[in-house]
Structure 1
Amino acid sequence: MTLARFHIPGPLVLLALFGGCHGNQPLEPPTDDGPTLSAVSQKGPSGLVANPLPGAIGLGWQDNSPNETGFEVLRSTTGASGTFTTITTTTAKVTFYTDSGLDPKQQYCYRVQAIGQQKRVIGVSNTVCATPLPLEPLAASKVAAVLLNTWTVQITWTDNSINEDGFRVERAGSDAGPWTTLVSTSPGITSVQDGNSTPSQERVCYRVVAFNKYGDAPPSTTACTAFPFAPTNLVAKAVDGYEVQRCCQTGWIVVANLPVNATTYRDAGLVPNAPYSYTVRAKKDLGFSAYSNYANAITAIAPPSVPVAQAYPASSNIITVSWYDNSGLAETFRVERSFDGGTSWTPFGPTVPGQTYLYDEGRTPEQQVCYRVYASNSLGESGPSNTACTAPPLGPTNLLATTVDYQGINLMWTDNSAVEDGYWVLRYLPFPDDYWIIIAELPASTTSFQDTGLSSETWYSYWVVALKDGGTSDYSNQVDALTDPLPVGAVSRAATSRGRVTAASRGLTPGAPTRRPMKPATTQRSSTMKRH
């Protein structure tokens, strides 16, 4: 500041000349408008991503400010250029938020702004838009109905949903209905058998409806099959004879050439206690007819030995019962079930020749059920197998995922079972792997796990399931979490890949059905899981 004195008639006048710090420039009036635009872009959150969920949208972002007091999440229902209003304010260092209770038919746009002292906006993120997934499950697809024998139809479908409570399989005499419920399954089931059909039903159709507590998905497409009627108007034509073929000690071989009108053949000199298959075709001139059906027989010299049985949960209310014929002499099996630890037994089934497992559906979680199996052939029946017991455990619930740092995520859940042997923690591997892996097997009563050695700034998805006798409960809810950015000077580590789930890894008998399959990947994110 410079003081100047001038001689002017009248009162004394002092002039104060104010200069800037870098020359004789006027001082600008003080301002409290906050940092410049460049400072905003440097300190504001970035990398905002939106992950569609059923009736909700999950948000994640990168915290670039060292001194914010919190973040405001703003939402627009009129597009990216519409009006944004604040829907929540977080504390400092929070980098995720789930906006729930949303309309699956509405698009929502978001941006996040960092807040400093005196509620000053430090910076604003990019804008992202997403539409929530329906609260109702997605419809099942690729329904197929295959005739297994004269009374059983196998129905299969593709599970496209991540939030179904189960599937309702419906049956009708035509694709126009009326429809009746055949069975309701647990979540994740993609196959059932209809053993109540009869050849008198010339045509039978099926459809599958996914459901949860919010309602039903649209019915799937219809799959139909037909039971062929027996042939009529048989016409006899002259043939030169018949050729009998046998399998399988050395592959298919011709064992006999029979004369015209032959209808029986006795195959002698066979190996005892061995299985054989036969087929016949007619001969005419230098050609042959089509083959007959295949007939199977065992050259048993005694009843079969006692089979080996096992039972394990396929879900919280389904039990898989399987058995193994040690002797190789069994032609059929029958199964018995007990709800009182083996004191009393009732028939359970039925089975068809060669069948080696059954699903016992509608079981009460936590309640023990026991099974035993008998094998039989033309010479008699074996004694009962070992008693195989299991209790389907209640599945874990309320799974939560919390980011620990740039390479760690903490998981917590509610243990609802009193009978589980332990827990599997599963993590999704994205493109190009696209499958779930077991990353930990934990003891019973465990309710938390920390996944370490992860990649920075990467989304991870998790499930937890209870274990019992080599099988599993219902799966928990799926959760997602985003690891923090890589600190300066740190080295990023890729998450360790663990082995795939196999029957052998759980000690199941070879050939036995594994526990119910794990769901396919359901994440809606792009194949590149890192945020940008």
Structure 2
Amino acid sequence: MRVLTRVAVPAALILALSACSAPQQAEAERPLRAALTTPTDVDLKWRDERAAVAGHVLEFATAARGPYTVLQYLDRQVTTYRHPDLMPRTTFYYRLRTYRGPASRPVHVDLPAGGWTAEEENADHDWLPARTLPGHQGARHALPAGAPTDLRAVVKDANGILFTWTDNSADEDGFLLEIRRQSGAAYEPLAVLDPDINSTGLVTLPEEKHASYRIRAFTLGERSNVVHLTTGE
């Protein structure tokens, strides 16, 4: 069972991402570029060395005016992306949007070996949904957003983790649950959460049983240029 959708984008964030027209947005430091590397595979490249930028949201559309769909939230060290197996003879439009904001201190989690028992598989898992818990609102800051604090990870079973934290931000567009896997060198976004959330559960994949996690309060920033190309046969 895979309850928490990975890098799922709530409807409120999709509306926020599409609220401003491209001409009103400043371009990123390095323009977005696209190449058709096979008739139905698109490779995207960009560069943004601004220290305050925590990452980018990659979006695509099949019409010049949208609507745009979020492909992925990407950490700042990621500067390439392949969009594979696309519809043939279709024009695709791409753009990036920056996100900024502070992250909490990480917590390390080691889950026991094995999977769910039959009893755990059929349990309610009422701890999984993202929610706002009373008593987890900290001192609210204006700009920049305050980093989440008191991040705690409670092991619920062999596959499940419950995260809670204190929300110290008054202006966030949402929160990112980020992971650094045991074999990984950097953190990467794992799930996107609505503003004011301070608790969420996670059902882990096998490679996530031994990992470090953190929470980032983020705000959305400027968009890049728009690139487009048409797939082949």
Superposition TM-score tier, normalisation by shorter sequence: 0.3 to 0.5
- Compute the TM-score of the two structures, normalised by the length of structure 1: 0.16
- From the two aligned structures, give the one with the greater helix fraction: 2
| Greater relative contact order, per chain length (Cα 8 Å cut-off, separation 6+) | 2
Of the two, which has the highest radius of gyration? 1
- Compute the TM-score of the two structures, normalised by the length of structure 2: 0.36
